[in-house]
Amino acid sequence: MIEIKGLTKAFGDLPVLQGINLNIPQGTIYGLVGRSGAGKSTLLRCINGLETYDEGSLRVDGVEVKSLSGKDIREFRKNIGMIFQQFSLLTRLSVYENIALPLRCWKYSSSYIDHKVKELLELIDIPDKINAMPKELSGGQKQRVAIARALTMNPKLLLCDEATSALDPKTAKSITTLLNQINHDLGITIVVVTHQMSVLRSTCEEIAILESGKLAVNGPVEQMFLQQPEALKNLIGEKDL
């Protein structure tokens, strides 16, 4: 689904991604870990075309992201959902309208929107919150709504940037269970950026560890936790894990 070769990106003089090589197979849940500032969010933003890269190749579903512009990039982004730590719901819109937003932007019919929003509300399992405002929701419920909104265009890929980091462990677990369900039932490839080891172990099939913009190590999650390579040990020692 994602093929990254020799990917390089700098902000001015600051090298942020330094020769990343990584393949993320279709249908997997792939974990990206690393300290704050390692380049995880930048890599996700490159994957969905929100950020350009300097050198190397980054293909999503066979398409070189850098080659896209204008209308093509808008079409490309339709296939990629993204969720964030802070949920990013629009506070003045109801749950229904938050989920409907991308569909309204793409000018779908009201009847299709109604059908799709209700289907997604079932999936995220909060059907009774349809008319609630974001401020009336718990953190976990807000993230569920954000997930529903990210799925409105039937994406092939879902990118999650610290999506469980603002939640208590039990709620975080319920969100990772939902991500597992989405991956399993809808076949969507999911990339999970996190610093929470419990999330990696319970959710991801493979993980990659970024250190200062470089890929330190990657492999199947069980193998990584068995072998405990240096890069993983360094992370496990961090207080926020």
Question: Which residue ranges make up the site for ligand ADP (CB under 6 A)?
Answer: 11, 14, 16, 34, 36-42
203 binds Mg ion, rule: CB under 5 A: no
Provide the minimum distance between the beta carbon of 137 and ligand ADP in the complex, in angstroms, as a whole number.
26
Kindly determine how many residues on this chain lie close enough to bind Mg ion according to the rule CB under 5 A: 2
Bridge-based pairing state of the strands 189-193 and 29-33: parallel
Closer residue to ligand ADP (CB): 16 or 215: 16
Single-letter residue type at 207: I
Single-letter residue type at 195: H
**Which residues contact residue 154 at a Cβ distance below 8 angstroms, ignoring those fewer than 6 apart?**
none
CA–CA separation, 233 and 172 (whole Å): 23
Q: Which part of the chain contacts Mg ion (CB under 5 A), choosing from 38-46, 91-99, 147-155, 182-190?
A: 38-46
Q: Which of 184, 178, 224, 220 is nearest to 27 (CA)?
A: 184
CA–CA separation, 217 and 113 (whole Å): 43
Provide the minimum distance between the beta carbon of 10 and Mg ion in the complex, in angstroms, as a whole number.
17
Closer residue to ligand ADP (CB): 10 or 68: 10
**Partner in contact with 42, chosen from Mg ion, ligand ADP, none, beta carbon below 5 to 8 Å by kind:** ligand ADP
Closer residue to ligand ADP (CB): 15 or 27: 15
Q: Which part of the chain contacts Mg ion (CB under 5 A), choosing from 8-16, 39-47, 60-68, 169-177?
A: 39-47
42 binds Mg ion, rule: CB under 5 A: no
| Residue 206 near residue 191 (C-beta atoms within 8 A) | no
| Residue 163 near residue 85 (C-beta atoms within 8 A) | yes
Provide the minimum distance between the beta carbon of 161 and Mg ion in the complex, in angstroms, as a whole number.
6
Closer residue to ligand ADP (CB): 18 or 42: 42
The dihedrals phi and psi of 99, each to the nearest 5 degrees, come to -70, -35
Provide the minimum distance between the beta carbon of 41 and ligand ADP in the complex, in angstroms, as a whole number.
3
- Burial of 38 from C-beta contacts in 10 A (0-12 / 13-18 / 19+): buried
DSSP structure class, residue 88: -
Provide the minimum distance between the beta carbon of 119 and ligand ADP in the complex, in angstroms, as a whole number.
32
| Residue 53 near residue 9 (C-beta atoms within 8 A) | yes
Q: Which part of the chain contacts Mg ion (CB under 5 A), choosing from 34-42, 53-61, 78-86, 127-135?
A: 34-42
CA–CA separation, 121 and 129 (whole Å): 8
41 binds Mg ion, rule: CB under 5 A: yes
Provide the minimum distance between the beta carbon of 20 and ligand ADP in the complex, in angstroms, as a whole number.
12
Binding site residues, Mg ion, CB under 5 A: 40-41
